[in-house]
Homo-oligomer: A and B are copies of this chain.
Amino acid sequence: MNPRQNLLTLEDWRSAYAAGAQPQALLGELLGRLSPTDPAWIARLDQAGLQTELARLATLDPAKAPLWGVPFAAKDNIDAAGWPTTAACPAAAYQPTADASVVARLRAAGAVLVGKTNLDQFATGLVGTRSPFGEVPNTFDADYVSGGSSSGSASVVARGIVPFALGTDTAGSGRVPAGFNNLVGWKPTPHRLGMQGVLPACKSLDVVSVFALTLGDAGEVAALIDGPDEGSPLPAPPLRPAWLPEKPRMGVPMLPELDTVLGYDAPWRQAEGRARALGAELVPLDFTPLFEVAALLYQGPWVAERYAAVRELIERSPEVMDPTVLEVISQARRFSAADAFDGRYKLEALARAIAPMWQKVDALMVPTAPTHPTLAEVAEQPVARNSALGRYTNFVNLLGMAALALPGGFTAAGLPFGVTWIAPGGADAALADWGRRWEQARLAEGDMVLGARLRLASPSDTMLRQLPASTPTLALAVVG
């Protein structure tokens, strides 16, 4: 447990302010602890910036600003006015004139951005090592990767530096680092959050995600940043009810193919047992069609969407890019516009074939990642080690689904093991409700800890105070 910091959750921060603490003192102390050599950060708030933030806070009514004075971090592919956006590529840095929609909403709620976090360059990776700002180590064991691409955001939340941070998730970047650092990783339905001011990775698939120590905090932040902006595609994705059935049917992989050397099978079996004890019926499914969808993302024309996002740079000065990221994105040159349409047809056909799955199960329950490599292993096999991590995350956004990654226990060696639930698009709130049941079961087991063993969880950590939108319950009367 970290003895220097007892302000971990949103409630901790609110309680401190309610008890008379001043943001100058609390945030000033926090800034003093941010190390310039910490690879989780690309940029940190300085004392001059803090004064600007304090002046802004003075204009807000704390009673109407639920995150008044609460610090947060944002992945450095998300714009914040006054901060350069680098996407971990200094040559591509630019100075945005406006906050991203999600940042604007948090700042309007009184939250204070204290830093921009490191990432796999252009959000291309699941490891957290593809950055000139350094490899982000795992918060439990520095020999292992943090996971990516939202590596820094996960790291600073797991260590209790900020209560929450924004990431982005295209292929798993908001879930894999949550799993590797014992965090809640909220991955909304694609297109339900406004994406203006977020540098695209694959623009049609990207979502902003939330890392938090507790489900309650993640839910509150998700509710605050929920909703489209003026750049959102029309129509908005449909909503679904805020609950799963009392005894949900959960699809699990018939062959999970977990890393037995790491001992991933034990926490997975434990997770299955916990879900059954909560009333879930586990239905083994053949995941082959889902893996075929996933293959489109890097082996098909969608990689051209990453190319489209960095086209000018990759054609002008490819040498400034991370070599692995350059190698991955350069694959796009193989694909024609006709290939892009063919890929879209293939995805539509797979989506149709997969849709009846939701008649058989209410959600999928999967290991967040099937393995967890060391930094050395990734250095040796940068593409293969990375690809293995996306097994249970890559297909989700292509199919417009919602996901929630939760801490699922630990391996015998003490590495975190993550469990993710996936549901049809719009069922974000239903996943949260199920997550609450899961967290309460873990709490009852007596050894649930927050982040990088910051403290034992308490009952209030598993409470859901707010949720993203869901369908209202309607009584329908057909009158004509």
Binding site for B on A (CB under 8 A): 203-204, 230-235, 238, 301, 304-305, 307-308, 311, 332-333, 335-345, 348-349, 351-352, 355, 472-480
Shortest distance in angstroms between A236's beta carbon and chain B's nearest beta carbon? 12
Contact pick for A307, options B308, B338, B475, CB 8 Å: B338
A340 to B343, CA, bound (A): 11
B308 touches A341 (CB 8 A): yes
Contacts of A337 in B (CB 8 A): 301, 304, 307, 332, 335-337, 339-340, 343
A316 to B254, CA, bound (A): 43
A117 to B233, CA, bound (A): 39
Contacts of A478 in B (CB 8 A): 472-474
A342 to B477, CA, bound (A): 44
Known: A335-B336, A336-B304. A352 touches B238 (CB 8 A): no
Q: Given A332-B338, A474-B477, 12 more contacts at CB 8 Å? A: A203-B341, A203-B345, A204-B341, A204-B344, A233-B351, A307-B337, A308-B341, A333-B336, A335-B337, A473-B479, A474-B476, A477-B477
Shortest distance in angstroms between A359's beta carbon and chain B's nearest beta carbon? 13
Contacts of A342 in B (CB 8 A): 308
A343 to B338, CA, bound (A): 13
Shortest distance in angstroms between A223's beta carbon and chain B's nearest beta carbon? 18
Shortest distance in angstroms between A304's beta carbon and chain B's nearest beta carbon? 3
Known: A474-B477, A476-B474, A478-B472. A233 touches B352 (CB 8 A): yes
Closest 7 CB pairs of A and B: A304-B337, A473-B480, A335-B337, A340-B340, A308-B338, A337-B340, A301-B337
A348 to B204, CA, bound (A): 10
Shortest distance in angstroms between A426's beta carbon and chain B's nearest beta carbon? 11
A341 touches B476 (CB 8 A): no
Contacts of A343 in B (CB 8 A): 337
17 inter-chain pairs at a CB distance below 8 angstroms, sorted by A residue, are A203-B345, A231-B349, A231-B352, A234-B351, A234-B355, A235-B238, A301-B337, A301-B340, A304-B338, A308-B338, A308-B342, A308-B345, A311-B338, A337-B339, A340-B340, A474-B478, A475-B476
Shortest distance in angstroms between A467's beta carbon and chain B's nearest beta carbon? 14
Q: Quick one: closest B residue to A202, CB to CB?
A: B341
Question: By CB atoms of chain B within 10 A, which of A338, A342, A473 has the most?
Answer: A338
